[in-house]
Amino acid sequence: MATSAPGGGRFGWAFFLGNLLGGLLTFFYFRFIDTATSVPPVGRGELVFFVIAFVAIAGTGHVIVDAQIRPLMQALARGGSPPPELRRRALAYPWIIAGVTATGWILAGLTWGVLWPLIAGTLTVRGALRAVFGIVGVGGTVVTALIFFAAEHQWRDVLPAFFPNGDVSAVRGVPRLPVRARLLVMFVLAGVVPLVLLGVLAATRAAAILQADPATADDLVRGMLALIVFLLVVGVVTAAGLALFVSRSVAGPLGRLRAAMAEVERGDLGVSAPVVGNDEIGGLAESFNRMVEGLRDRELVRETFGKYVSPEIRDEILGGRIPLDGQLREVTVLFADLRDFTPWVERSDPRQVVRDLNAYFTEMETAIRSHGGLVLQYIGDEIEAVFGAPIGDPKHAVHAVSTALEMRRRLVAWNAARGTAGDTPLRHGIGIHTGPVIAGNIGSAERLSYTLVGDAVNLASRLQSLTKELGCDILVSGDTRRHLDGEFALTPLPAVRVKGKSEEVEVFSLG
């Protein structure tokens, strides 16, 4: 019976009251139920023996508990990740306290049921067995169970500090108390123990009545009836208290798990359920945390994917509503490329080049996304984008040309800011062409890329290159123009012959 343990003043009071209850229960048992086992006082020697025995048992328990728990408190004070051995000890904390308590009561039973009668010269086998049963079986059992549940309840506020990731199941060698066993313990304490006490009471009083005269027998019967009523009342109150205690040990973690599930339902994936034990409820909380972690990973993939495509396209692809195994589609392809890129790189700091490129790409991609386009890839200082895939868009050509105009406006504004900072303004050329392509996931078994394959891609790229020769920043092919219905100011240029095409290509400058 340890005299102290960490866990706060509340646990200290619970520990004290639990052992006090056990002492009162034992006194009541020997005073009113099994009176034949009581040993009459023998004076000062018994008092001295009682004090010495109590101090020895309580002091030993205190030393054992302190040796087991002090490293846990020191680890909490230091912070950080405790070593595996301390994690195991932290998980076993209620068992350590209950084990020390049970050992103390067993020693008490042997001390006052065997050792003291041996010293006093009153030892009998039957008397020793009855005394040990009363001390250990009645008082010790109830106190050990109460101390275990009290320690477990108080320790739940501390245990997550040893398991911040909730990986309680990874710790081996610690006993488990399943929910079914908890209910069984409650049944034994609330149902079996009172019945045992009633049985012993009936047996001892019946034996006393048989040996008593009629008047004394009458008093014994009335006294037994009063004790039965008292035991029934105490049994009901104890059963209600134990039921509340054990139900809280189950309902408390389940309530916190339910609250965490409600947070996830509202979209908060940063929540986690505290894992406060290694029973089924602790395993359920661990599984919940792993599920939430998986959802966070999935959300991270979703958000990361959203950096490559627009949110609408991302949701369509992840929802399985867009086939990516190859489709023949009519799309509009846009290529944009910075002018005089190599000389600019050669005279600039590499880190500044990367920052400027990222800023440029951010501006251009914002324009592309705002009109429903998809950036397929960045190739050095070049952008390849598509309109009309993977989600179909009947106005893909209109949106592509509108994007080119916005890219022009954004580049002007960005250059104005660069000029204020003393940086060199940049120029780019844009080529736009509409035509059939094969769109789908292409690559190896380990890595895929959503890609367009077809002559329309090559022609859009070559139109972008022609902007240097024709002295304009945006070139639109005749095929794209036929999808615009005169919505934009286009200036016709002489037809050009491009590599890979046997016929000349109509081109227009976008004003």
Residue 64, SS3 per DSSP: helix
Provide DSSP, 394-442. Answer: TTHHHHHHHHHHHHHHHHHHHHHHHHHTTPPP--EEEEEEEEEEEEEEE
Of 436, 439, 434, whose CA–CA distance to 327 is shortest?
439
Whether pLDDT at 397 is above 70? yes
What confidence category does residue 7 fall into, taking pLDDT thresholds of 50, 70 and 90? Answer: very low
Going from N- to C-terminal start, the domains of the chain cover 1-162, 172-305, 325-510
Question: d(Cα 388, Cα 377) in Å, to the nearest integer?
Answer: 16
Name the amino acid, one letter, at 96: I
Residues 61-120: tens digit of each pLDDT: 778 877 887 888 888 778 777 788 888 888 888 888 889 889 989 998 898 888 888 888
Residue with tokens 């005299």: 3
Q: What is the mean pLDDT of residues 262-270?
A: 85
Question: Residues with Cβ < 8 Å from 358, sequence gap 6 or more?
Answer: none
Q: How many CB atoms lie within 10 A of CB 240?
A: 11
Residue 450, SS3 per DSSP: strand
324 vs 346 pLDDT, higher one: 346
Question: d(Cα 331, Cα 399) in Å, to the nearest integer?
Answer: 11
What confidence category does residue 489 fall into, taking pLDDT thresholds of 50, 70 and 90? Answer: very high
The pLDDT value given to residue 9:
44
Token couple for 107: 């020693």
Of 37-46, 200-209, 269-278, 495-504, the one with minimum mean pLDDT is 37-46
Residue 331, SS3 per DSSP: strand
Q: Are 98 and 148 in contact (CB under 8 A)?
A: yes
Whether pLDDT at 403 is above 90? yes
Question: d(Cα 460, Cα 468) in Å, to the nearest integer?
Answer: 14
Residues 12-43: tens digit of each pLDDT: 566 677 777 777 778 777 777 776 665 545 56
Question: d(Cα 205, Cα 34) in Å, to the nearest integer?
Answer: 9
Residues 327-375: tens digit of each pLDDT: 899 999 999 999 988 888 888 899 999 999 999 999 999 999 999 998 9
The CATH classification number of 325-510 equals 3.30.70.1230
Q: What is the mean pLDDT of residues 488-510?
A: 89
The pLDDT value given to residue 37:
60
User: What stretches of 20-172 adopt beta strand conformation (E)?
Assistant: none
Question: d(Cα 211, Cα 225) in Å, to the nearest integer?
Answer: 18
Residue 306, SS3 per DSSP: coil
Structural element, H or E, at residue 365: helix 350-370
The pLDDT value given to residue 365:
93
Question: HSE (CB half, 13 Å, CA atoms) of 472?
Answer: 21
Provide DSSP, 183-207. Answer: HHHHHIIIIIHHHHHHHHHHHHHHH
Structural element, H or E, at residue 311: helix 311-318
pTM over 0.75: no
Residues 427-436: tens digit of each pLDDT: 999 999 999 9
Residue with tokens 């991270």: 300
Residue with tokens 């859009």: 460
